[in-house]
Chains A and B, each alone.
Chain A
């Protein structure tokens, strides 16, 4: 036995303390998971079939109200699905066809057709959703918005050229 050994009193104190912390953590875990967000199965949050590739002409912006996104087809034929929620403070951003850009009514943030910021205060481009094209049908996964600091080539999905 050395002087550094833990006395019985100290051991019990630490044991009690550890048990208390453990119990509190368990109770906290139960409460937190009880209140954790419930995923409601429905239109938004799942995979949405937007339609056939041909129904979206290049240079078009099609709003999907239930899915809360815009399906954008760039003039070069690339698809990108933009979450309509402004990256500044969460307002619903409408497409302004006359000016060819998204303009947020809340704080005047403006975005290009591909989601890139033209006008602050928005700190980053509009979030996008993953797109897959199967058998000529565009499908958008609205489960997780993908954040990006700038738009880049990986954002766009192209339909396979069918001969």
Chain B
């Protein structure tokens, strides 16, 4: 009974190899290339074929891929850092010093983690802007936009919890200020803050809590939602970039040319990832992550600033009653952001940058309006306007909350209405102009908070702040 029913090759080495890699390498034809993408664990995140116009770099700027690369770098360096760090007030700061002086390449790994973490906040935000400006959130991609907002919030949460771990003055007071923002939420704010910090102040329990959140809960949740996000991108396919007149580069009629993912997309991703890894590495070799004196709960530095991405909020707090600055205005912002894809579209501009030529002009006007109006309003409120002083009989929640918020909302509605009439524009174009106005306003507030606020949070020029 020696008849051979085993179809595998005779050579053992070849049998082992084929049990791992099922397809012929290198593939001979397009069919083979598609099979490799389909059967490979990592490559199967891609479809086997992609529309050629979507490969254009200036359409996506590779921002989603870059975010993924940063998550990979962060996971890798983060796990390394876990082996040389103790999340306890007695050891944390000393571990940081040892990391930078005793551990081989410790400073480099810390720099990579620090800069990648901060870059990830920026890249995720830019990714959101890109998707908005190319209409990438339109049906059927509404829910993926929501997932993206969730990811952005998680990324900020990861950054914020990581901020505390070095346990230096910067970390301690940024987290004190940042978590105090939370305590202004009516009713549940203070219990929530106490729950997160493990007490009324930042202390040993806070460090343990934040460590657990930073190394386990947030990364795991992030990985889960990232997988969902990418899976939805695959299911919904990428929107095709159009020119203003509706035509697509290299397309005849309605037929958009498709090319195999391997090598067209994979090679581009590989090169971009390589270039960005090199850039981040180079930056991390030259620029050290900051480390100040050890945390001292008895002494607040002057000024005490939150993490840079919260400085826009902290700036709002200087102008509004805390409930408005820290809670109502940000909640309105995030709520509006989440509702964006569910608005009715009166312009089919999917895949067109800035919707239309008119849309582009209106977006520019939005940006310039914010660039001029926000600094003026900040200076006006700082030096001239004193609503609580002018209305001493009213509680500050009305005089410095409802009244300025109502005024701002009226301005926003007036802007929307005025722009729509002035340009005889569609709702999509006007909404975009308003979006630009608000986003640039937030960026300007952040810049003012980071660069123009010095001792006692007084307004001053950037070279006086430093």
Contacts and interface: CB of A to CB of B under 8 A. Distances in A.
A91 B458 contact: no
Contacts of B300: 91-93, 104-106
Contact of A120 (B176, B179, B396): B396
| Dominant secondary structure at the A interface | loop
Given A105-B303, A106-B304, A120-B396, A90 B201 contact: yes
Interface of B: 173, 176-177, 179-181, 183, 194-195, 197-201, 204-205, 209, 297-304, 314, 317-318, 321-322, 388, 396, 400, 456-458
B195 A37 contact: yes
B302 A106 contact: yes
Interface string A50-90: 00000000000000010010000000000000000100111
Contact of A92 (B205, B299, B388): B299
Contact of A106 (B183, B198, B200, B457): B457
B205 A107 contact: no
Interface of A: 32, 35-40, 65, 68, 85, 88-94, 104-108, 120-121, 123, 145
Contact of B180 (A37, A88, A108): A88
B320 to A, nearest CB: 9
A35 B180 contact: no
Nearest to A83: B200
Contacts of A32: 195
Q: Which 4 A-B pairs have the closest CB atoms?
A: A105-B302, A90-B180, A91-B300, A106-B304
Contacts of A40: 199, 204-205
Contacts of A123: 321-322, 396
A85 B304 CA distance: 14
B201 A106 contact: no
A107 B456 contact: yes
20 contacts: A37-B205, A40-B204, A40-B205, A68-B201, A85-B200, A88-B322, A89-B177, A90-B176, A90-B180, A91-B176, A92-B297, A92-B298, A105-B301, A105-B302, A106-B304, A107-B304, A107-B317, A108-B456, A108-B458, A120-B400
A40 B400 CA distance: 38
Contacts of A85: 200-201
Contacts of A37: 194-195, 197-199, 205
B279 to A, nearest CB: 36
Given A89-B176, A91-B173, A145-B200, A108 B322 contact: no
Nearest to A120: B388
A46 B201 CA distance: 15
Contacts of A120: 388, 396, 400
A90 B322 CA distance: 13
Nearest to A93: B300
A107 B183 CA distance: 17
A108 B457 contact: yes
Nearest to B397: A123
Interface centre among B176, B197, B300, B302 (most CB of A within 10 A): B300
Contact of B181 (A38, A65, A89, A93): A89
Contact of A107 (B176, B181, B197, B457): B457
A39 to B, nearest CB: 8
B205 A38 contact: yes
Given A37-B198, A40-B205, A91-B300, 15 more contacts: A32-B195, A35-B209, A38-B198, A38-B205, A65-B298, A68-B201, A88-B180, A90-B177, A90-B183, A91-B304, A105-B301, A105-B303, A107-B317, A107-B457, A121-B322
A90 B317 CA distance: 14
Nearest to A103: B456
Contacts of B180: 88-90
Contacts of B297: 92
Contacts of B299: 92, 94
B180 to A, nearest CB: 4
B378 to A, nearest CB: 14
A35 B191 CA distance: 12
Interface centre among A38, A90, A121 (most CB of B within 10 A): A90
A91 B304 CA distance: 8
A121 B194 contact: no
A33 to B, nearest CB: 11
Nearest to A122: B322
A75 to B, nearest CB: 27
A72 B456 CA distance: 25
A91 B177 contact: yes
Contacts of B195: 32, 35-37
Contacts of B209: 35
A80 B179 CA distance: 27
A94 to B, nearest CB: 8
